[in-house]
Amino acid sequence: MARLGIHREFLREFARLERSVQDRVIDVFTKFEHHTHAGLHLEKLNNPRDPRFRTIRIDKFWRGVVLAPDSGDFYTLLRVLPHDDAYDWAQRHRVTVNPVTGRIELRDVVAIDEALPRLVETADKAPRRLFDDISDADLKRLGIDEQTLALARVLTDVAQLEAAQAFLPQNQWDALYGLAAGLTPEEVWAELGVAEATEPYDTEDIAAAVARTPERVVLVDGPEELMEIFRHPFALWRIYLHPTQHRIAHATYSGAARVTGGPGTGKTVVALHRAHQLAVRGAGPVLVTTFTSTLSASLEAGLKLLADSAEVLDRIQVRHVDQLSYQIFAERHGRPAILRDAEEKAIWRRIIRHLGLPFTETFLAEEWRHVILAQQIGSAAEYLEAKRAGRGRRLGTRQKAQLWQAVWEFQEELKRRRLWTHETICVEATRLLNERADKPYRHIVVDEAQDLHPVQWRLLRAAVAEGPDDLFIAGDTHQRIYNNRVSLRDVGVRVAGRSTRLTINYRTTAEILAWSLGMLQGEPIDDMDGGLDTVAGYRSEVHGPPPRLVGFAVQKDELDALCRKVREWLDAGVAPEEIGVAARSNMLADAAVAALKAAGIPAGSLARSSDADRVVRAGTMHRMKGLEFRCVAVVGVGEHQVPAPNAVTPAEEDELTHTQDLQRERCLLFVACTRAREELYVSWHGRPSPFISGVLG
C-alpha cells in the first residue's frame, strides 16, 4: 500500500472546490492509497522543473500534481488544478530539503527569478533595506538559503516581503516575516521549533523530510484518516500541531504554565491537546474550564473529536467556572438562592438612601466586586489600606469608611436573607476547597483566561494541589470582553518562565488580521502578570480580500445591504452555517435575523441555533467569542452603537473605569471581526464608530 502525504495548501483549496470535484479527489486518492504499485497511476511530465513531479488524473478537466520519490512508495499530493494550470504549475515549482531545518520546501522558481531584477532596481535607490540589521550568518542559521538570501537582501519594505510569500519557500518566508515583525533571530528560531540535529540532514530523503514538516504536509495514516481529513479540511489541528504548539501541549512544567497569543493562533487547540495529553498520562482527574457555558460546550465537543479512547475521555471533566463553584457549594449547602440584578440594585439604592452616600449603586457594586471581593478584604482596616488598582475615583479616609459601612450592610443583608451571587458562591466554594486536603483535580486547563474574575481564579487555585502541571492557562488579554482584571501572582498563580506566546494565526486572512489589529494600535493592554502584552509578530499566512467597510444613511438601508451581502456569499457557494452576523446589541442581532428571513434567507439567532440547523446565524459580539465562520458581517458599527453608550461609565463619574470600559468595547469589536476566516464585512448607519474611523482606509 502506498503512503500518502497531503500538502496543507491544497487542503485549504480543497474546501473551496466544487462538491463533484471534491468527491472525485477523494475517490482517486482512496484508491491510490490502496494500490500496491500506486506509482503506475501517475503520469510523467515533459520537462518539469522538478523531475520528481508527476500528475494524476482526477477527471477530464482536473489533474493532481504529486511528488513521487525516486524509489519507495511514498507520495505527496501537492495541488489539484485544472489541466493546463497543473502543467504550468509543475513547470514553475521545485521541491527541496532545507539543510538547516531538514524540512521540505516548495518554491516558485520562475517567480523568484522574475521578481529579483525589479527588487534590485528599487533597492539601489532606497536609503535602507529591510534586513540591514540582520547578518548573513543569522539568516543562514535560520535556514535561509542562497536563492532566498539574494532576494531578502534587496527587500526594502514589508509589503514586498508579503508579496514574496506567494513564491518563497514557506518556512524561510516565515522566518523572514518573523524578523520583519520584530522578533529576534533567537525568537524566530524558537518559533521554528527545529529539533537539534545530531548529524547533517540527507537532502535527498524526501520521505524523512516530509515527516519532519508536519506544518506543511499532513501524513495520512490509512484510508479512514484520509476520509477524515477530506471531510474536515479545516479541522487539521486534531492531527497536526505546529512544532511550537506541540511543544507547549506536550511539555512537563514544574508548576503553572500559560499560552498567550492573538486571535486564531490556536490557543484553544493547544489547551485541548494539553488536556488530552494530561489525561493520557493518567496522573489524576483533569478539569477543562472556561467562563461561559457556550464556550465550555464547544471545548467539550473539541475534546470528543480529539480523544478516541473513552477511558481517557472519562478522566476529563469539562465545566465552566460557575458550574464548578455551584457544584462544590451545593454538595455542602444545597441549592443557593440567587440575588437577581434588579434586587441587587434595589438593595444598594436603599443603603445609599439610608446612609446618605454620595455614590451611585453601580459605583458601589463595582467597588464591592472589583476591590473588596477581588482582594478578599474582610475588615474596615484592610479596606483602608487596600490598593484600589483599576479604580479611577480617589476616595479619602472618610469616604472609604462610608463605603465600607455600605458594603458591610449589603453583605449582612445577603447573609440574613440567605441570598448569594455568583461571586459569593465562588468565595464560599473556595473556602470549602481550602478545607480539603484531597483536591478534586490533579490538573486544570483554563481557556479564555483573560475574562475570569479574581474570585474564580482563587477557586481554581484551591481546586488543584500545587505541583507540576497543576494549572495550564490559555488566553489573550486583547480579547477581554468583560471587566475582570487580575494579576495572576496576586491569586497565587506563578507562570514566570513558563509562558509562551503564539504568533501565527490559522484562522483569519492576513488582510482581516492586519485591519483588526489596526483598531488596537497603541492601546496599552496588560498581560495579567504585571506587564503589558504586545501584538508584535502576529501574522497570518493566508490571504484574501480586504475587509469591506460600508456606511449608510439609515438602519433600513444598512440591513437591506446586509441581506444583499449575505445573498452574494450564498451565491458564491458559502454554506449558510458558515456565515455569521455580529451586532453589539441583542436587539440589532434580532433585527438582522428578521431582515434576513424577510429576504428569504435561512437565518436564526446564535443563541438558539447551531451548525446543524444550516442557517445564517446572528448574535451579539459577546456570543461570537470562541466561534469562527468563513464569512462574518459585523453590523451597527456606528458612532452611537459601538461603544454601547450604556456600557461605558461616564468620565465624570470615574475616569479610569471610563477608559477601561472603552478599551473593553474596542476589544469586543476586535473579537467580533477576528471570527472571520475568509471575508469580513463591517457596516454602520450615520457616522462610523470612533474605533474604526482611524482604520477606514
Ligand X SMILES: Nc1ncnc2c1ncn2[C@@H]1O[C@H](COP(=O)(O)OP(=O)(O)OP(=O)(O)O)[C@@H](O)[C@H]1O
CB of 571 to ligand X, least distance (A): 25
Of the candidates 43, 18, 41, the one whose C-alpha atom is nearest the C-alpha of residue 30 is: 41
The smaller minimum CB distance to ligand X, of residues 272 and 377, is found at: 272
Among 64, 178, 263, 604, binds ligand X (CB under 6 A): 263
600 is in an annotated binding site: no
264 is in an annotated binding site: yes
Quote the CA–CA distance of 136 and 611 in Å, as a whole number: 50
Transcribe 200-267 into DSSP letters.
---TT-HHHHHHT-TTTEEEE-HHHHHHHHHH-TT-GGGT---HHHHHHHH---SS-EEEEESTTSSH
The smaller minimum CB distance to ligand X, of residues 167 and 237, is found at: 237
> Contact, 616 vs 603, CB < 8 A?
yes
Identify whether 127 is preceded by a cis peptide bond (ω within 30 of 0).
no
The smaller minimum CB distance to ligand X, of residues 26 and 239, is found at: 239
Measured CA to CA in angstroms, residue 607 lies from 192, 497, 562, 621 at distances of 40, 39, 20, 12
Among 96, 213, 268, 555, binds ligand X (CB under 6 A): 268
Residue 170, interface with ligand X (CB under 6 A)? no
Nearby residues of 304 by Cβ (< 8 Å), 6 or more positions away: 313
Q: DSSP letter at 449?
A: G
Residue 243, interface with ligand X (CB under 6 A)? no
Among 3, 79, 267, 274, binds ligand X (CB under 6 A): 267
Nearby residues of 136 by Cβ (< 8 Å), 6 or more positions away: 149
> Contact, 273 vs 306, CB < 8 A?
yes
The C-alpha cell that represents 446 in the structure block: 483554563
CB of 291 to ligand X, least distance (A): 13
Quote the CA–CA distance of 482 and 207 in Å, as a whole number: 49
Of the candidates 251, 242, 268, the one whose C-alpha atom is nearest the C-alpha of residue 174 is: 242
Residue 623, interface with ligand X (CB under 6 A)? no
Sign of torsion over alpha carbons 266, 271, 272, 273: positive
Separation of CA 301 from chain center = 17
Of the candidates 541, 530, 427, 518, the one whose C-alpha atom is nearest the C-alpha of residue 477 is: 530
Transcribe 142-209 into DSSP letters.
TT--HHHHHHHTT--SHHHHHHHTTTS-HHHHHHHHHHHTT--HHHHHHHHTPPPPSS---TT-HHHH
Residue 519, interface with ligand X (CB under 6 A)? no
261 is in an annotated binding site: yes
CB of 524 to ligand X, least distance (A): 20
Instruction: Give me the 216-235 binding string for ligand X, x by CB under 6 A, dash otherwise.
Output: ------------------xx
The smaller minimum CB distance to ligand X, of residues 17 and 624, is found at: 624
The smaller minimum CB distance to ligand X, of residues 42 and 446, is found at: 446
345 is in an annotated binding site: no
Among 5, 233, 264, 604, binds ligand X (CB under 6 A): 264
The smaller minimum CB distance to ligand X, of residues 11 and 111, is found at: 11
The smaller minimum CB distance to ligand X, of residues 237 and 404, is found at: 237
Of the candidates 369, 380, 472, the one whose C-alpha atom is nearest the C-alpha of residue 427 is: 369
262 is in an annotated binding site: yes
The C-alpha cell that represents 63 in the structure block: 489533474
Residue 537, interface with ligand X (CB under 6 A)? no
Residue 628, interface with ligand X (CB under 6 A)? yes
Residue 269, interface with ligand X (CB under 6 A)? yes
Instruction: Give me the 479-498 binding string for ligand X, x by CB under 6 A, dash otherwise.
Output: x-------------------
Residue 236, interface with ligand X (CB under 6 A)? yes
Candidates 65-73, 261-269, 363-371, 456-464; binding stretch for ligand X (CB under 6 A): 261-269
Residue 507, interface with ligand X (CB under 6 A)? yes
Q: Which residues pair with 328 in a beta bridge?
A: none
- Angle, alpha carbons 333-338-342 (nearest 5°): 165
Residue 638, interface with ligand X (CB under 6 A)? no
518 is in an annotated binding site: no
Question: By rule CB under 6 A, what count of residues binds ligand X?
Answer: 23
Quote the CA–CA distance of 402 and 319 in Å, as a whole number: 39
CB of 257 to ligand X, least distance (A): 16
Residue 315, interface with ligand X (CB under 6 A)? no
Q: Which amino acid is at 34?
A: H
> Contact, 600 vs 589, CB < 8 A?
no
Candidates 265-273, 275-283, 540-548, 684-692; binding stretch for ligand X (CB under 6 A): 265-273
Residue 261, interface with ligand X (CB under 6 A)? yes
CB of 628 to ligand X, least distance (A): 6
The smaller minimum CB distance to ligand X, of residues 269 and 462, is found at: 269
Among 54, 242, 442, 539, binds ligand X (CB under 6 A): 242
The smaller minimum CB distance to ligand X, of residues 138 and 476, is found at: 476
Residue 547, interface with ligand X (CB under 6 A)? no
The smaller minimum CB distance to ligand X, of residues 329 and 472, is found at: 472
The smaller minimum CB distance to ligand X, of residues 54 and 675, is found at: 675
Question: Binding site for ATP, residues?
Answer: 261-268
Q: Which residues bind ligand X (CB under 6 A)?
A: 234-237, 240-242, 245, 261, 263-269, 476, 479, 506-507, 626, 628, 674
